[in-house]
Amino acid sequence: MKVDDVIYTGEPTELDLAPDMDALARTVSGCRRCGLRAGCQQVVFGEGVWPAGLMCIGEGPGADEDRLGRPFVGKAGQLLDKILEVSGFDRHRNCYIANVVKCRPPGNRIPEPAEREACWPNLRAQIRQVAPKIVVLLGATALQGVIDPQGRITRVRGHWIEREGIHFMPTYHPAALLRDPSKKRDVWQDMKQVIAKYRELVDPDHYSPHA
């Protein structure tokens, strides 16, 4: 599934027509469009404020997220919160966080292309509710699920991709930083671009403690 001309254009689905994010979350909580729902405890829809100038999209829930019903609350999530904090963002104040698939893949395996595609209408409707100017794509699955099924994160990270007025910044997933801390420097470079773009498009007075 590609994002070209498909977030805001084309026939809106029933999900796209949800009156607000809460209504959309209630609908998605009953989703069984792929087999992942059968093996998880609950749908992990997303968290944050909407509309928001910034949205972050990751891969899918892990064990902690599945247990608590919230995205990015395990070790990788805590690192994401820190990255956002030093960039002047906070999921409770000025950004929204979601995943490509809303149900935990068994054993934390990478979601399969068919699962990503099954969950795309949920994510598309969610993006429409958030109406972000900037989307940070965290890792290969987010890149492949939203922009290019064949996309390579090592090749495109740090480069803006613009679609339908949204600026997408692919970067490494925080879990990759936990495995290889040397990638932190690249992510910080990418986030500095995000901060600058946010000041350009959303809030010229955006405060970041470190950039």
Residues in contact with ligand SF4 by the rule CB under 6 A: 28, 31-34, 36-37, 43, 101-103, 115, 118-119, 122
Q: How far is the CB of 119 from ligand SF4 (least distance, A)?
A: 3
Q: How far is the CB of 64 from ligand SF4 (least distance, A)?
A: 17
User: Which of 53, 74 has the CB closer to ligand SF4?
Assistant: 74
User: Which of 31, 79 has the CB closer to ligand SF4?
Assistant: 31
d(CA 208, CA 193): 12
Q: How far is the CB of 128 from ligand SF4 (least distance, A)?
A: 16
User: Which of 61, 132 has the CB closer to ligand SF4?
Assistant: 61
User: Which of 114, 196 has the CB closer to ligand SF4?
Assistant: 114
User: Which of 66, 190 has the CB closer to ligand SF4?
Assistant: 66
**Which residues, 6+ apart, have CB-to-CB distance to 176 below 8 Å?**
139, 183
Query: Considering only CA atoms, which of 40, 48, 68 is closest in space to residue 136?
Result: 48
The torsion angle over the Cα atoms of residues 63, 190, 141 and 41, rounded to 10 degrees, is 20
Q: How far is the CB of 74 from ligand SF4 (least distance, A)?
A: 18
174 CA to centre of own chain: 12
d(CA 11, CA 14): 10
Cβ atoms of 61 and 141 closer than 8 Å: no
Helix 75-86 / helix 184-201 crossing angle, nearest 10 deg = 50
Q: How far is the CB of 7 from ligand SF4 (least distance, A)?
A: 17
